[in-house]
Structure formats: structure tokens, C-alpha cells
Amino acid sequence: MNTISQILSAGFLFGSTWFSGWWLTRLLGVAHNWERLGLAGLLGSAWLTIVLLAAHLGLRIPFTAELVGAVLIFNLVSLGTLYKLQGGRWFELAFITKFFVLPVWQQILVVLVIVPVVLSLIPNVVWPVTDWDALALYDFRAKVLIAEGSWKSGFTLGYFFQYPPFTSLLHAANYALGFQAAKVWYTLIYLSFVITFYALLRRRTTRGVSLFGAVLLAYSPHFLEHATVAYTNLAYSAFLALGIVYLWLAGDRKTPSRDWLVGTLLVALSLWVRSSEPFWVVGAGLLTIAVLRQRSWSVAVGGVFVLYGAKRAWLNLVYLISQSPVQVALPNNEQSQQTNLGTKLLSIISQVIPVSYLHILTQPLSTQGSHILAVFRYLLAYVWPLINYLFVPWLAVQWHDLRHQNWYRLLVMNGTIWATLILIFTGTYIFSFVFVTWDQIGGSVMRMSMFLVALIWFYILSCPVWNNWFKET
């Protein structure tokens, strides 16, 4: 396919995705324009992959350019129609021109945010996918899907269904339309992440501090690196971190708001990217706080149900792809045999509490102690560097919240961060008993924990102290 055709294909693909996401944000009731702009990329790409897979599996259509084109047009027509029925106007992007009336120093910050995004586009367009895990799994699945038209042959290949299909389907959509540069998606996800982060900060603090926060996030070394790497970690961090922030904001009110819906959706979509990590439990925990603060039983129950469903979604889809309740090489060695209610309940509980590993507690204390020390050293080597430069501001803000008795920020928001760290420690501790080579994939635990950086920055910068310390002119 020549260059002009590729550019047109890319324009159609990314434009349709972004507009679909923009209209979706309206349908979800997202009120703020900058939030809508940021969420458009994330929600649009997630919606695209869900509809693609639904059409491919449900309607049994081979995965081809025609399928992708039809889905893109379907998204535009359906979401556009619903959008207009809700009274939306086609072009509501006039708010972007406010850039020109900003103070100069804020314009500089905006430019600083845009620069890494634009620069990340260059290697993402030029270089093919070569990242190790992408070739072994994510991009390989896209390759098979395009070559075979389906994933059925994947059952004979090991290491194929380890992770949910989000990034694989994005790559496949690219390849189906003849635009090879699949890594452009990561620039879109990166941009969406930064814009949404800014918009959420803006709800709590001044524009200047919010822009500064966006710069800090945009240039955060790990996020910047992953903007040009075809892994799932950036998308996972974006969905999870933003989802948790939405749930924070939702809980810090007297009455329920749409933030519960958006937050739950984003955390659920993080499970559409990666489902092995247990951090969705944090989202479930925040939802249960809704009961305590707002007496929102329906929000809590419905939200937890959605999250648990999202956790099981990929496994259930794998069964659907196989079209038979057979034992296949699934993550966590899940079995599809018929079980009684007790076993089913145990299975559900084990998604939250690793009951099958409780036998570890029967190990001798000296063994447990040595494992604890080893895990501590391991996390000090790989997780601490992620957050060490944030530690002093983070401590200062915790002290401020304690001094001013801002219990929601201290116990819920800050508590979420500490709970996540405890989860990481506990999970790694369990791993140390299960896998002999548990301490040889330090890069993996670092990537898994990346979303903490966004959460900690949000907690720090949303502190009310900055509103008094810094008066914008």
C-alpha cells in the first residue's frame, strides 16, 4: 500500500476511534471538556477493540479489512446518532483555542506537554514493533489474526492467551487496514493519559499547578519510555490510575455522581488490558466506601459486579473462542469443569484473597522471615526507584493532611497508595514461594507498579496547600 493510502487509512482509523470516544464521553455524562478530550482516546480505543471482537466472535466474521472498516463506520454512525439525540454539537472543540489567552508561562507548560507526545510519534511511525514481549505475544497475536482471520489456530501455540486482547486487537486493526505503524496507538494512549490527568487535577487545584502536574507526568521516565514501547503497561497504568482517581473524586462527595460510573468503567477496562494483577481489588474497595460515605448500595454492588465480570471476561472469551469447555493452556491454570456452588464461591473469593496459597503461613517462621527480607530487598531494587524522588513531597503532603485532619485524603486516597504497596509486597511474597525464578524479572514488577507514580503525583498536587501557596496572576 502506498504512502497516501496508508495515511488515509491511519486517518480513518484514529479519527474514527477518537470521535467515537469523544461521543462516548458525552453519553457517559462526562461534563468537563478537557476530561472528554483525554478520555476520548482511551474509551474510543477500548470501545473499538470490544466491538471488533464482538463482531468477529458473535457474527463469526473473519478478521479482515472489511470487518475493521465496517466496525469503524458502525461506531461513527451509532455513537454519532446517539450523541446527536442527546443534543451534542458536532464540533465542540472551540475550548482548545483558550490556549491563546493563557499567560505566557502556562503556554510554555502546554508546549512542554505537547513536545514529548509529538516526538514520541516519530519513532512510533518509523520503527516496526520489536519489543520482546510484543513479538512473543501481543503483536504476534495480531499477526496470527490477520494471517488466519481468526485465533483458533492459537490453541496449538503455547503462550498465546496469557493476556487479554486489547493491544493485540489495536495492532490487528492497523494491519488489517494496511497501516503497519501499530505503535502510534501508544502515542494516543500516552496523550490521553496526560490530558485526562491534567483535567482531573484541574478539578482540585489551579490551572498552573495542573499544567505542572501534566508536565511531571508527561516526562516521567517510565511513562515516556513506554510511549514508544508496544507493551500493555502504559495502557494498563492509564486505565487503572485514572479509574482510581475518578473513584477518589467520586467518594469525596456527599451524593453520588457520574464519576463512579467513569471510574468503575476505567478500572474494568484496565482488566481488558491486563488481568493478572490484583489491583482491581483497590477499585472494588473504593466502591465499597461508597456505602459508608454516600449510602450508595447500588453503586457499590453494581460496580463490584462489573469489576468482577471484567476480571473474568477474558477467560470466558477464551472459552468462547475454543467453543468447547476443554482444558487449554490458560493463565492461572483455570479449569472449565462443572463445579459445585462451594467451589464456585471459593473460586470467586480466591480472585480477591489467594486462599490456595494460605498454606504458606504454615511454613517455618525462619523461612518466612528470609522470604520477607528477600522480597523487601527485591522491591527496594525495582519498585523504590519508581517513587523515590516523590517520597519527600509525598511525606510532606501526608503530614499536611494529618495536621489539617483531612481524613478522606489521608485515609482513602493516601490509604489506596499504601494498600497498593502492601498488595505488591504480599503478591511478591506469595510468588517467592511459588516460582523459583521469582526474583529474576525485576523489570516486570517495575512495569506493573508504574501506575503508582500517577497516583502519588495526583495525591501530592491535589493537596489544598498549593492553592494557598501559589496564587496565579
Per CB under 8 A, does 462 bind another protein?
no
Among 24, 191, 216, 310, binds another protein (CB under 8 A): 216
Gap between the Cα atoms of 316 and 164, Å rounded: 11
Among 33, 64, 150, 180, binds another protein (CB under 8 A): 180
- Provide the greatest CA pair distance for the chain: 67
**Cell representation of residue 345:** 464461591
- 130 or 356: CB nearest another protein: 130
- 132 or 384: CB nearest another protein: 132
Q: Is the dihedral of CA 30, 35, 36, 40 positive or negative?
A: negative
Among 93, 157, 320, 349, binds another protein (CB under 8 A): 157
| Among 185-193, 216-224, 255-263, 321-329, the segment contacting another protein (CB under 8 A) | 216-224
Per CB under 8 A, does 55 bind another protein?
no
Per CB under 8 A, does 401 bind another protein?
no
Among 128, 369, 385, 442, binds another protein (CB under 8 A): 128
Tell me the closest approach of the beta carbon of residue 342 to another protein, in angstroms: 37
Among 96, 108, 381, 402, binds another protein (CB under 8 A): 108
| Footprint on residues 336-355 left by another protein (CB under 8 A) | none
Cell 453503586, residue?
Answer: 299
Among 7, 115, 346, 381, binds another protein (CB under 8 A): 115
Among 389, 407, 418, 435, binds another protein (CB under 8 A): 389
**Cell representation of residue 357:** 496459597
Q: Please tell me the count of residues contacting another protein according to CB under 8 A.
A: 51
Gap between the Cα atoms of 278 and 419, Å rounded: 11
Gap between the Cα atoms of 329 and 312, Å rounded: 16
x/- track of binding to another protein for residues 247-266 (CB under 8 A): --------------------
Per CB under 8 A, does 436 bind another protein?
no
Contacts of 241 (CB under 8 A, 6+ apart): 193, 197, 451, 454, 455, 458
Per CB under 8 A, does 158 bind another protein?
yes
Tell me the closest approach of the beta carbon of residue 179 to another protein, in angstroms: 11
Among 59, 126, 341, 365, binds another protein (CB under 8 A): 126
Per CB under 8 A, does 297 bind another protein?
no
**Cell representation of residue 137:** 505475544
| 3-state class (DSSP) for residue 470 | coil
Specify whether the backbone of 333 is left (phi greater than 0), alpha (psi in -120 to 50) or beta: left
| Footprint on residues 222-251 left by another protein (CB under 8 A) | 224, 228
Per CB under 8 A, does 120 bind another protein?
yes
Residue (of 6, 10, 147, 4) closest to 72 by Cα position: 10
Q: What is the DSSP string of 338-360?
A: ---HHHHHHHHHHHHS-GGGGGG
Contacts of 350 (CB under 8 A, 6+ apart): 356
Gap between the Cα atoms of 205 and 104, Å rounded: 19
| 3-state class (DSSP) for residue 141 | helix
Chain contacts with another protein (rule: CB under 8 A): 104-105, 107-108, 112, 115-116, 119-120, 122-123, 125-128, 130, 132, 135-137, 139-140, 143-144, 147, 153, 157-159, 180, 212, 215-216, 218-221, 224, 228, 389-390, 392-393, 396, 460, 465-466, 469-471, 473
